[in-house]
């Protein structure tokens, strides 16, 4: 006989439903097998689904699945899951330890009516790389000159605070917005640099208060374009600090990354860089329901 579990779609990095980045959230996943979690993620179809499992009295355990595979960490699904827990009173404000496949990370919940949830990643790493801009331009559908010009001052790099991304500056918003990526070529580029995907960004923004505008492409993990990306924002914040992108050091206290506008899912990631890197945002529930889940010995098909 199938069992049932509560399952939500929560829009992260926004306070308006049907914008930002939708994540599946299963707030009580302790009895689910790996095959069942993968089937639920496939059924929900969100770029990632977070499965919250009890680990100990002081820690939560979270696993993350795309529709096709497990991933080690996901920023927007973490924000979505812990925002939901906080808003339902299941989680107190303050810091919380969260066990993930990359190790233990800290989640901090602000004491607000619509709390901002902050995810502190692992110790940042940034490694600059040499790229063939003609090849990158072909992969992303961007004029190579728009990459080479800014790359002369800000070299591309693979950066990570838990999940590596290839951070790639682009001259202007018009060029970034007109990108027409070829998934196979983007996957080849990311794989070559052991990155989850490509995070292309420009300092040319829609909102004057934003630090940059970004687009994230990760076809290798089943996400052609991610609307708003927490792990990539954390990686990019570490990158900006590493290359001294801002002369004013206080700029790193409140970075604001806009994303998702070119896929009609606008959202905003906040980031701050000090001794570590944290990304934050709000979230709102778009769908709250129940799924029927077949027993592990049955075929792994989820019936809505």
Residues 207 and 162 grouped into a single domain: yes
Shared domain for 61 and 138, answered yes or no, is no
Residues in the chain with pLDDT < 70?
1, 55-58, 297-304
Indicate whether 137 and 107 sit together in one domain.
no
CATH of the domain at 43: 3.10.310.10
To 5 degrees, how large is the angle CA 250–CA 255–CA 256?
Answer: 150
132 and 186 share one domain: yes
**pLDDT digits 0-9 by tens, 289-303:** 999 998 876 454 554
Identify whether residues 131 and 116 lie together within a single domain.
Answer: no
Three-class secondary structure of residue 9 per DSSP: strand
Q: Is residue 302 one of the residues assigned to a domain?
A: no
In a domain, 274, yes or no: no
Asked whether residue 143 is assigned to any structural domain, the reply reads yes
Indicate the number of domains in the chain: 2
CA distances for 248 relative to 19, 53, 124, 280, angstroms: 32, 42, 21, 21
User: What tokens appear for 183 in the block?
Assistant: 């998934």
Residue of 48, 225, 249, 258 marked active site:
48
Does residue 301 lie in a domain region?
no
Residues 150 and 88 in one domain: no
Beta strands 157-160 and 165-169, pairing class: antiparallel
Query: Is residue 277 a part of any domain in this protein?
Result: no
71 SS3 class: strand
Phi, psi of 229 (to 5 degrees): -125, 110
For residue 303, tell me if it sits in a domain.
no
Residues 100 and 204 in one domain: no
Number of Cβ within a 10 Å radius of residue 242:
17
Residue 95 maps to a domain: yes
Whether residue 77 is found in the same domain as residue 103: yes
Task: Note whether 234 and 203 are same-domain residues.
Answer: yes
pLDDT for residue 265: 97
- H helices of 4-63, in order, are 34-44
The whole-number pLDDT of residue 304 equals 47
Predicted confidence at residue 298, as pLDDT, reads 47
State the Cα–Cα distance between residues 122 and 263, nearest whole angstrom. Answer: 29
What's residue 113's pLDDT? Answer: 75
In this structure, are 159 and 241 located in the same domain? yes
Do residues 116 and 247 both lie within one domain?
no
Q: Compute CA distances 24 → 40, 67, 76, 87, 159, whole Å.
A: 9, 10, 10, 16, 26
The boundaries of the domain holding residue 116 are: 3-121+283-293
* Catalytic residue status for 48: yes
The verdict on residue 235 lying in a domain is yes
Query: Whole-angstrom Cα distance, residue 4 to residue 207?
Result: 43
- Residues 165, 49 share a domain: no
């Amino acid at each position: 006989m199938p069992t049932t579990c509560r399952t939500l779609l929560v829009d992260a990095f926004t306070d308006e439903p049907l914008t930002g980045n939708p994540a599946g959230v299963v707030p009580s996943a302790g009895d689910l097998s790996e095959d069942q979690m993968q089937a639920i993620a496939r059924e929900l179809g969100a770029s990632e689904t977070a499965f919250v499992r009890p680990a100990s009295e002081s820690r939560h355990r979270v696993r993350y699945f795309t529709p096709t595979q497990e991933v080690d960490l996901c920023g927007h699904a973490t924000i979505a899951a812990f925002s939901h827990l906080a808003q339902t009173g299941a989680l107190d404000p303050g810091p919380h330890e969260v066990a993930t496949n990359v190790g233990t990370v800290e989640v901090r919940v602000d004491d607000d009516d619509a709390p901002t949830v902050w995810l502190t990643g692992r110790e940042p790493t940034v490694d600059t790389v040499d790229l063939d801009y003609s090849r990158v331009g072909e992969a992303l559908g961007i004029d190579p000159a728009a990459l080479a010009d800014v790359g002369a001052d800000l070299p591309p790099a693979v950066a990570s605070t838990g999940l590596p991304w290839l951070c790639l500056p682009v001259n202007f918003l018009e060029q970034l917005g007109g990108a027409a990526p070829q998934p196979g070529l983007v996957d080849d580029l990311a794989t070559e640099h052991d990155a989850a995907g490509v995070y292309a960004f420009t300092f040319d923004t829609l909102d004057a208060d934003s630090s940059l505008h970004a687009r994230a492409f990760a076809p290798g993990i089943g996400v052609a374009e991610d609307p708003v990306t927490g792990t990539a924002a954390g990686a990019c914040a570490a990158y900006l600090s590493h290359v001294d992108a801002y002369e004013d050091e206080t700029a790193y206290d409140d970075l604001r990354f806009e994303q998702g506008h070119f896929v009609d899912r606008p959202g905003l990631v906040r980031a701050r860089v000090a001794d570590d890197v944290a990304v934050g945002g709000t979230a709102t529930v778009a769908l709250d329901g129940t799924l029927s889940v077949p027993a592990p010995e049955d075929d792994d098909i989820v019936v809505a």
